[in-house]
């Protein structure tokens, strides 16, 4: 059986959908913090089990009979190393044969502040003796597209990435790649650097938004501290504003760029262009 942590999250739900294209529902286990949020997943015939990263006592029973596990990195910044360690320990105790972990692009050398918890998790996997495969995911298109409404309202896309190039892909692309790895053979020991086939600067993204929406949007680059303040002013929690401003700043130095095309290699098709995801974002508002 193949289990997915964080199965009620945005990536987790897409992974479940992608997995069901490859295997029967009775081969899939959704590990969730809150089973009440997973009723629709259970209706698809998937076994839903309670598994909270911060309650290690839930993890052992949740992993009974699981051969392969996708550990989707937690979104609880600052607690992730401890949480992921608890899952790795439970996987080892349960005899899981492969752990796939959603890390970050070029985690070992990345200048992104958020890469630190991923690096430590990768080390924990290395030290555990459990066979593992690293899915070093690049940026989601959706990270920048979430700001399109505000960009249209203000005729400005704000950031700190200067002319750094961003090789993002859709969340669904990364989910499908995870399903390919989880249902493939001989994955232990592999490290995938996953990113979109094409890259863009934020000026180019602003031009694309202008073309597709008919509303003029210009990219305005801000110093990191100023961008962080803008994010705080629009109500983002401090750690998230910090993370986004830091990530943009690192993007200016190439931290979100990759041209290895390993993601499309796994998918067996080109990655979803940002223009397509933008069209969807504009259509759904
Ligand atoms: N590559 C990128 O661009 C990018 C962008 C953002 C985030 N990420 C990383 O990728 C992960 C997946 O992305 P996403 O878009 O699916 O994020 P998401 O929608 O925020 O999903 C995070 C998942 O983690 C679960 N979770 C949090 N704390 C937990 C706990 N204590 N025990 C069990 N589960 C817990 C959440 O459970 P609930 O459903 O109960 O809330 C949720 O299902 C994120 O968590 C983050 O580490 C990557």
pLDDT over 90, % of the chain: 96
Of the CA atoms within 13 Å of residue 108, those in its CB half-sphere come to 7
Measure 9 CA to ligand 1 centroid, in angstroms: 6
Measure 233 CA to ligand 1 centroid, in angstroms: 24
Domain at 139-169+195-258+272-285, CATH homologous superfamily: UDP-galactose 4-epimerase, domain 1 (3.90.25.10)
Which residues, in sequence order, are CB contacts of 154 under 8 Å at separation 6+?
Answer: none
The answer to whether residue 285 scores a pLDDT higher than 80 is: no
| pLDDT mean across residues, the chain | 97
**pLDDT of the residue at 116:** 96
Of the CA atoms within 13 Å of residue 253, those in its CB half-sphere come to 10
Closest-lying ligand 1 atom to the alpha carbon of residue 139 = 3
Which segments of the chain belong to CATH 3.90.25.10? 139-169+195-258+272-285
Would strands 132-137 and 191-194 be described as parallel, antiparallel, or unpaired? parallel
**pLDDT of the residue at 191:** 98
Q: Taking residues 158-184, what's their average pLDDT?
A: 98
Q: What is the pLDDT of residues 139-152, one digit of tens each?
A: 999 999 998 999 99
pLDDT over 70, % of the chain: 100
Tokens found for residue 22:
């490859």
Query: Other C-beta atoms within 10 Å of 143: how many?
Result: 15
Residues in contact with ligand 1 (CB, 6 Å cut-off): 6, 8-12, 33-34, 37, 52-54, 72-76, 83, 102, 137, 139-140, 143
Tokens found for residue 81:
């190393």
Q: What is the pLDDT of residues 62-118, one digit of tens each?
A: 999 999 999 999 999 999 999 999 999 999 999 999 999 999 999 999 999 999 999
Measure 212 CA to ligand 1 centroid, in angstroms: 30
Q: How far apart are CA 21 and CA 32, in angstroms?
A: 21
Residue 96 near residue 66, CB atoms below 8 Å: yes
Q: What is the pLDDT of residues 225-250, one digit of tens each?
A: 999 999 999 899 998 899 999 999 99
pTM of the model: 0.97
Which segments of the chain belong to CATH 3.40.50.720? 2-137
One CATH from 1.10.375.10, 3.40.50.2300, 3.40.50.800, 3.40.50.720 for 2-137: 3.40.50.720
Helices and strands in the chain: count of H runs, count of E runs:
13, 9
Closest-lying ligand 1 atom to the alpha carbon of residue 7 = 43
């Amino acid at each position: 059986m193949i289990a997915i942590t964080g199965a009620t999250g945005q990536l987790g739900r897409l992974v479940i959908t992608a997995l069901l294209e490859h295997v029967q529902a009775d081969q899939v286990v959704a590990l969730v913090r809150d089973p009440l949020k997973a009723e629709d997943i259970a209706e698809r015939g998937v076994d839903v089990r309670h598994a909270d990263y911060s309650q290690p006592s839930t993890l052992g029973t949740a992993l009974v009979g699981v051969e392969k596990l996708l550990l989707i990195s937690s979104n609880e910044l600052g607690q992730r190393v401890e949480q992921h360690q608890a899952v790795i320990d439970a996987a080892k105790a349960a005899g899981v044969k492969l752990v796939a972990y959603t890390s970050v692009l070029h985690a070992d050398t990345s200048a992104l502040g958020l890469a630190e918890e991923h690096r430590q998790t990768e080390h924990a996997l290395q030290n555990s003796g459990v066979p593992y495969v690293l899915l070093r995911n690049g940026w989601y298109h959706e990270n920048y597209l979430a700001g399109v409404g505000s960009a249209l309202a203000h005729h400005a896309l704000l950031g700190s990435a200067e002319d750094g190039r961003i090789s993002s892909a859709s969340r669904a692309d990364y989910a499908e790649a995870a399903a390919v790895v989880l249902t493939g053979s001989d994955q232990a020991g592999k490290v995938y650097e996953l990113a979109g086939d094409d890259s863009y600067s934020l000026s180019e993204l602003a031009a694309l938004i202008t073309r597709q929406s008919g509303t003029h949007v210009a990219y305005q680059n801000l110093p990191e501290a100023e961008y962080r303040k803008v994010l705080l002013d629009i109500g983002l929690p401090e750690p998230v504003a910090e993370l986004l401003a830091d990530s943009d700043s690192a993007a200016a130095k190439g931290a979100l760029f990759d041209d290895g095309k390993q993601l499309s290699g796994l998918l067996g098709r080109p990655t979803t262009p940002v223009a397509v995801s933008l069209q969807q974002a504009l259509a759904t508002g």
